[in-house]
Structure 1
């Protein structure tokens, strides 16, 4: 089957729209590095410069890093920057790559992301209802905002997964890589 110019343009428009949420959230989440570094620098100066360590720096840094890592996942998927065994995969034709990626997306990725999103939604909702705090920390900070990031990440990854599936369909139909053909 040959992809007409009209269908290719429609496919590219659809994937561009589907890529937007992950891109926006990923770029916004990247800015979490600024307060993360600020907290780390403050802790080091307070601890070693003034012998006065903080109670909050550890909690803040792992929450910021966790949020940054999770919220950047869809952006990374959209940029095709996740780790894979490229040395094996790159010797295959774009059509075969699209078939393999498309099959794994449908059979493994979507079911896993659906399960992850549903499970973490309940996890986050329960945390909000209880006003959950981290009991292992002396400050006992709230944890439900971080737990809310998990189902949000699942939704963003599923949206990005639809875009990636369309890109795989393009590769199967045209035997060209979607990103190289633009």
Structure 2
């Protein structure tokens, strides 16, 4: 399990690097939006390329940041139900979700997206808007984003298995609110079983 946890740590490091990098694209999109608004209002100059690059940047943040949201335990949960389960049961539910839903979804979406990317690249597909941008970089975000999400899924699977075997800490506490720093070594009370886990 030690080697698997090291591999998980490498994936987490890559995910963290990508997640913290794409955050800057939000600032870039904001600056482009402001510059576009000033140019349009002050000089009556407009460009569809300026509008579309904002969409591209938003798509990049959303797609490439999905794995980082998973790492930070920031994805959507039904907490009203999850909080009633024991910690071990929640880990087993997570493992089932990763194996039965996350991995197949990432694979299927990647399979559907790849031919569109290749066709757009080979044809040099452009936006239908005048002065718009080339499309294949936007299409590339879909398989890239789901690949990164699946990669982080592998890491989360390893960490949950390690927790269940007593080889690792609770992965739902490790990242949340810590910006990558390990959580403090505290006992966590298990609501359903009354057990305490370190």
TM-score bracket for the superposition, by shorter chain length: 0.7 to 0.9
2:137 maps to: 145
CA-atom RMSD in angstroms: 2.0
Structure 1: runs of 5 or more not aligned: 1-6
- Specify which structure has the higher proportion of helix: 1
* Aligned: 1:116 with 2:109: yes
- Alignment pair present for 1:160 and 2:152: yes
Q: How does 1:1-182 map to 2 (within 5 A)?
A: 7=1, 9-135=2-128, 137-174=129-166, 177-180=170-173
SS class of match (1:150)? helix
- Structure 2 counterpart of 1:4: none
Size of the alignment, in residue pairs? 174
Of 96-105 and 28-37, the range deviating more from structure 2: 28-37
Residues 140-159 of structure 1 deviation map (CA, whole Å, 9 limit, x = unaligned): 31011111111111211111
SS in 2 for 1:129: helix
The alignment's TM-score, normalised by the length of structure 2, stands at 0.79
Query: Could you tell me how far apart the structure 2 residues matched to 1:55 and 1:104 are?
Result: 41
Matched-pair contact (CA < 8 Å) for 1:170–1:178: no
- State how far apart, in whole Å, the 2-side matches of 1:176 and 1:65 are: 34
> What TM-score do the two structures reach when normalised by structure 1?
0.85
Using the TM superposition, give the Cα deviation of residue 83 of structure 1 relative to its aligned residue in structure 2, in angstroms: 1.5
Equivalent position of 1:3 in the other structure: none
Gaps of 5+ in 2: 175-181, 183-198
Offset of residue 100 of structure 1: 0.4
Q: Distance in 2 between matches of 1:118 and 1:79?
A: 27
Further displaced range: 146-155 or 10-19: 10-19
